Structure 1
Amino acid sequence: MKVYLVGGAVRDSLLGLPVTEKDWVVVGATPEEMEANEFRPVGKDFPVFLHPETQEEYALARTERKSGHGYGGFTFHAASDVSLEEDLIRRDLTINAMARSEGGEVVDPFHGKIDLKARLLRHVSPAFAEDPLRVLRVARFAARYHWLGFRVADDTLTLMRQLSDSGELDYLVPERVWKETSRALMEPAPQVFFQVLHACGALEKLFPELAALDGVPQPEVHHPEVDTLVHQWLCLEMAAKLKLPLTARYAVLCHDLGKAKTPQAEWPRHIAHEIRSARLSRTLSKRLRVPRDAADTAALVAEYHTHCHRALELKPQTVWKLFKALDVIRRPERLEDFLGACEADARGRTGFEDRDYPQANYLRGAAQALQCVDVAALRAQGIEGPALGDAIEKARIQAITTFKQQELNP
């Protein structure tokens, strides 16, 4: 029985990056031998075990054979006679198909170290094209390592395009697409994930609402980049620079989807695109089964982001309506996601990257002013029922009015 460290741990250690997870492959062992050594079985489709002390995953070396559609359409064979190279050849990229022996030797049958040096994401074998999930995985790795200069190899991109054209992407379950997308959104260059999908034809299959923005023009005075899809890339890049959480980054992804539905006769203006964007964001969220909090925030940002951009001009009554829509009294944390996404939109434009966004602090202050409204004191006056609700709303609007006067006329 031989044990090898495999996958991301080997790749990242060779890149000089921190290793956060360790996966192991065991060659020459049986499930019975693993359990006899107190490893706990956890694999459903093939033998995977947890180490009795470290709880790290140890998988028996295995081969796989295509037996159906989608990323789950494979039959696996794990046995003591499966070699390390047979296990590694089923992996997606050469940089993920390296192993390190217990003695420290790097086993690299598919030249992953060469591709690391060349900064290439290259498939291991033609079997790459059997698994549609690999289209998303490669795009995610491109987003993760973009800062190091990595790019997808041309021949790998060709295989990804073949996968996109084959209809295999239709067999990916929504939960898995969302899992890969949510991870990609939190990578250092989330825009690269979607750019790679666009380059191989997968964007229009998996995110047609986003792909439809390609070539849609915007007013150059507000958007020097003009093209709405280019604006989308810049916004996602800015969201990463601002270190926004996942909920806000997903909202950035959805905020302008409605511009694709603007009649061409109205271009480059996009009147009422906010409502259309909110509706399309709901459609996308439902299809991908996005968690409710992220889906709700995305729809709110889509519908109200231009309110945020004009916050300094809004009447106190309109600011209060915005706060009610965001439910800031009960959900104060949602305001930060909203403001972060709006700032990414405002600064995600060519030449606007370093502009201040005072609207965010203004709305933060206005929301804080609401805390000064003494609801208990209003109740103590004997106000009840609908009259109490009206009195509370009036007091909150007054609090915003007072704050605005102090803020704009110190």
Structure 2
Amino acid sequence: MAPLTLDQIARENNGDASSITSLQLTHRALSDVSCLSNLAKLERVDLSFNCLSSLEGLSYCISLKWLSVAENKIESLKGIEKLSNLTVLNAGKNKLKSMEEIRSATSLRALILNDNKILSICKLDQLEHLNTLVLSRNPISEIGDALTDSKSMTKLSLSGCQIENIGSSLVSCTELKELRLAHNNISSIPHELSRNTRIQLVDLGNNSIERFSDVKVLAGLPNLKNLNLHANPISNKDNLAHKVKKLIPNLRIFNARPIELNTTKSTSRNVTPEINPPKEPKMKHKVEKSGNAESDPKKESANSNSELNNATESKNERKKKKSAKNEEKKHDNEKIDDADIPFLDVILSEADNNNDLNSNKKRKSEEKLTGALVVDHTKKNKKQKSKTVISGSLAIKMLSPPPDIGTGGSSTWD
């Protein structure tokens, strides 16, 4: 395996290596990349899927901000201390046993060290900008006081470790929004977690939670939208989803499925009775049987005129109702673009409303819909006759777009 050279880099970049700011050098079986220290403007480099055993060859890349060395053979993070501008480091799937060296990389915003052999989390008090930490699938048994001063932490993943107790280890993480602790040995949720009021996602799947009383602490998380308790002993209990929804009213996704909307119809959605009585069918003049007397032609003419007036009024009333309904649809379509309406509410209410329209398709009387949004796609495409139904899985996907890590491009979060 020949080492990487500047001449090789220059040939691959139109003969100019001095101005290079970004390099992708994956799947090349590289074991020595020390020549990169001569690239003064290099800010981003991807060295995933190579044969690197150390980061010391990169220690003089002082302009480096984004570095991925995932899936190599690295056993130590020595050399990372000198990269004072580094904001994103992905060293997942290596042979690391310790992460102590990372304490000197004070500019880090995102640290990804999943699938290594790390036994414990070092104290991260000097990494005041760190917002994303991924340590999934490491033999870590406790969090301890490593995150005591991690006030900027928003995403934390410790899935697939050996953690049994969370305790008060996350109390200082006041900005935490995503907490992933699936596939551990956790049997209870500490009451201290209720202090992390910004949390939106909690994944505790495949743990040892048995009692519903252990879940009640989650009622203190007003922003919690996504909760996973799948494959816990408690997940086998009847009506768990109903109890959890009652406990956490704002929850939208439970065990990776969207919670059903309340299908109770409001009284305002009942059919409004017609103001005018139904039109009587026209009958030929007949002789009344009782009394054997013929009907009065003047009275029949008056009745006929009255029926005609009623029919005209009924027709005008239907036109008014139709016009009012068109205005209502127009108003509902305008609501879709209202920035104040939560996006998930729009998605879920659209799917619910499409189901209502399909079930009432053959009704002649018009119903006034309230509390839901109707999306009329015919204005966008006249040839499209059926309305698009947005599925629960799409709602889930749209509710959780790939978050960014630090300042470095698209996310490799977990």
Instruction: Give the TM-score normalised by the residue count of structure 1.
Output: 0.31
Q: Which has the higher contact order (CA 8 A, sep 6+)?
A: 1
User: Which protein has the larger Cα radius of gyration, Structure 1 or Structure 2?
Assistant: 2
